[in-house]
């Protein structure tokens, strides 16, 4: 194990090198959004499947309508009526036409459609054409959107509603995607109490397993809360053995330097290959990463802010790689500091902060609340983390800084709805 304090970028690199995309599974289209294709998808059919009308109107031979205008219209005999979903029954001959609806299959002989707005129907079977059309006008041709045999979506594509629509259009009701990693989330510590029980003053409610469960689910994983384990070697050993059927194990607590921080010891005893146990990050320095039976093991600190930041910086990229995604690191934005911030160099500091857009789209950002690693309220108030690199000391109001958004950028939480 690396006993050094590992810089943040190196830690992320070690983690990403240690995890692999999950095996494939077949899922139905209605569950597909957010999943990543394992294979190229090839269209089995042409889209459109047949030449069809782009408009409601009359399917004609373009040359029969050549000089038609409002004052000098052309009259054609209606020989068929083709609503969408019905095969044409007639071939269109000279000076003949067929009434046709949008999506209706083009009848043989016809090569264009006159929009209904430029026609008039008289009697039972005569259409007065008031505007000539060119060949192919208002016709959608077989395969013009998608050709049978062509690759429509490539391996690695993240499925959105649009791709679901495309897959349905070519008749694919299921696809092969990378499995969601199953994630075991456990909290360790004698002081941790379940939120469903009354607590004494020496206990704290288990908030980490809820926050980490929610973050893991939002990142695309399939998490399970494995409960609270006391600082007793036999209990933790038994619980970790239960976790060996998962794809990722996340613990919080028990990785610091205290006498009761036994997680690392047990991991070694179970044959885990620890990669590092200290990172030059604030909050979250005592962060442990390793492989237990080949399963990525993330030993997060017990302090809520440390646990949450560690998840964002170290666990999320691993989940995204396992899901098959190519972009695993959140895009950072740049903003201007709205206040001074005292900083001690040496570690990458992720400062809980709130950013907002000005009218011209520029970003202003200010640290929010108390930054202690045990402080929960400032985490809920923040919509981003300011990333201060290890060599940097104090940051002045007006300086440009790099931020990592923690909100859905489209739906930024209103600050008034925070504490």
Task: Tell me which residues in 317-336 interact with a copy of itself (CB under 8 A).
Answer: 320, 325-327, 330-331, 333-334
Helix (H, G, I), strand (E, B) or coil at 297: strand
For residues 334-393, which are near a copy of itself according to CB under 8 A? 334, 357, 361, 370, 372, 374-377, 379-380, 382
Q: How far apart are the C-alpha atoms of 393 and 243, rounded to whole Å? A: 41
Kindly indicate which of the ranges 1-9, 18-26, 163-171, 269-277 contains the residues binding a copy of itself, using the contact rule CB under 8 A. 163-171
Phi, psi dihedral angles at 366 (to 5 degrees): -135, 140
Distance spanning both ends of the chain, measured CA to CA = 42
Kindly indicate which of the ranges 13-21, 242-250, 254-262, 384-392 contains the residues binding a copy of itself, using the contact rule CB under 8 A. 254-262
Q: Write down the least CB distance from residue 355 to a copy of itself, Å.
A: 13
Say how many residues touch a copy of itself, by CB under 8 A. Answer: 120
Cβ proximity to a copy of itself: between 2 and 207 the closer is 207
**In sequence order, what are the residues at sequence separation of 6 or more whose Cβ sits closer than 8 angstroms to the Cβ of residue 315?**
215, 216, 219, 248, 250, 298, 300
Residue 149 touches a copy of itself, criterion: CB under 8 A: no
Q: Write down the least CB distance from residue 94 to a copy of itself, Å.
A: 25
Binding mask 21-50 for a copy of itself (x = CB under 8 A): --------xx-xxx--x---------xxxx
350 contacts 385 by C-beta, under 8 angstroms: yes
Cβ proximity to a copy of itself: between 35 and 349 the closer is 35
User: Counting beta carbons within 10 angstroms of the beta carbon of residue 131, is it exposed (0 to 12), middle (13 to 18) or buried (19 or more)?
Assistant: middle
Q: Write down the least CB distance from residue 8 to a copy of itself, Å.
A: 18
Binding mask 192-211 for a copy of itself (x = CB under 8 A): x--xx--xxxxxxxxxxxxx
Binding mask 208-227 for a copy of itself (x = CB under 8 A): xxxxxxxx-xx------x--
Q: How far apart are the C-alpha atoms of 214 and 223, rounded to whole Å? A: 8
Cβ proximity to a copy of itself: between 94 and 370 the closer is 370
Report the run of H or E that residue 33 belongs to, with start and end.
Answer: none
Kindly indicate which of the ranges 83-91, 129-137, 234-242, 292-300 contains the residues binding a copy of itself, using the contact rule CB under 8 A. 83-91
Phi, psi dihedral angles at 67 (to 5 degrees): -105, 10
Token pair 């000539």: residue: 132
Would you mind telling me the total number of residues written for the chain in this entry? 419
Gyration radius of the chain over CA positions:
31
Cβ proximity to a copy of itself: between 142 and 392 the closer is 142
For residues 50-79, which are near a copy of itself according to CB under 8 A? 50, 54, 56
Cβ proximity to a copy of itself: between 292 and 386 the closer is 386
For residues 262-301, which are near a copy of itself according to CB under 8 A? none
Q: Write down the least CB distance from residue 320 to a copy of itself, Å.
A: 7
The candidate with the shortest Cα–Cα distance to 168, out of 153, 157, 149, is 153
Pairing of strands 96-100, 52-53: unpaired
Q: How far apart are the C-alpha atoms of 405 and 384, rounded to whole Å? A: 4
Residue 410 touches a copy of itself, criterion: CB under 8 A: yes
Pairing of strands 248-252, 384-388: unpaired
């Amino acid at each position: 194990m690396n006993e050094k304090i590992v810089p943040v970028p190196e830690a992320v690199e070690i983690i990403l090198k240690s995890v692999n995309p999950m095996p494939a599974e077949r899922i139905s289209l209605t569950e597909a959004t957010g999943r990543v294709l394992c294979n190229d998808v090839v269209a089995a059919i042409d889209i459109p499947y047949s030449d069809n009308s782009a408009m409601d109107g009359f399917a004609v031979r373009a040359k029969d309508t050549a000089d038609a205008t409002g004052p000098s219209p052309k009259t054609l005999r209606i020989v068929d009526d083709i609503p969408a979903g019905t095969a044409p029954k007639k071939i269109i001959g000279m000076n003949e036409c067929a009434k046709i609806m949008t999506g209706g299959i083009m009848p043989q002989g016809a090569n264009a459609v006159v929009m209904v707005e430029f026609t008039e129907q008289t009697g039972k079977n005569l259409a007065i054409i008031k505007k000539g059309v060119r060949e192919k006008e208002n016709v959608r041709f077989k395969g013009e959107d998608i050709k049978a045999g062509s690759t429509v979506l490539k391996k690695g594509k993240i499925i959105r509603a649009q791709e679901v629509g495309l897959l349905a259009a070519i008749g694919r009701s299921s696809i092969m995607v990378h499995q969601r990693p199953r994630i075991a989330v456990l909290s360790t510590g004698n002081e941790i109490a379940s939120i469903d029980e009354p607590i004494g003053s020496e206990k704290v409610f288990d908030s980490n397993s809820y926050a980490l469960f929610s973050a893991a689910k939002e990142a695309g994983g399939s998490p399970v809360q494995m409960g609270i384990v006391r600082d007793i070697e036999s209990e933790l050993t038994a619980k970790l053995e239960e976790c060996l059927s998962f794809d990722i194990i996340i613990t919080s607590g028990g990785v610091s330097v205290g006498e009761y921080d036994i997680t690392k010891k047990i991991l070694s005893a179970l044959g885990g290959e620890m990669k590092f146990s200290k990172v030059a990050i604030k909050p979250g320095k005592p962060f442990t990463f390793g492989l237990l039976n080949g399963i990525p093991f993330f030993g997060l600190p017990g302090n809520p802010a440390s646990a949450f930041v560690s998840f964002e910086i170290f666990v999320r990229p691993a989940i995204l790689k396992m899901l098959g995604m190519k972009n695993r690191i959140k895009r950072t934005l740049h903003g201007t500091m709205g206040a001074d911030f005292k900083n001690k160099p040496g570690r990458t500091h992720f400062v809980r902060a709130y950013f907002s857009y000005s009218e011209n789209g520029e970003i202003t950002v200010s640290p929010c609340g108390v930054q202690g690693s045990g402080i929960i309220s400032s985490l809920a108030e923040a919509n981003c983390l300011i990333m201060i690199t290890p060599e940097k000391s104090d940051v002045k109001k007006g300086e440009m800084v790099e931020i990592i958004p923690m909100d859905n950028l489209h739906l930024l939480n209103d600050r008034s709805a925070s504490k």
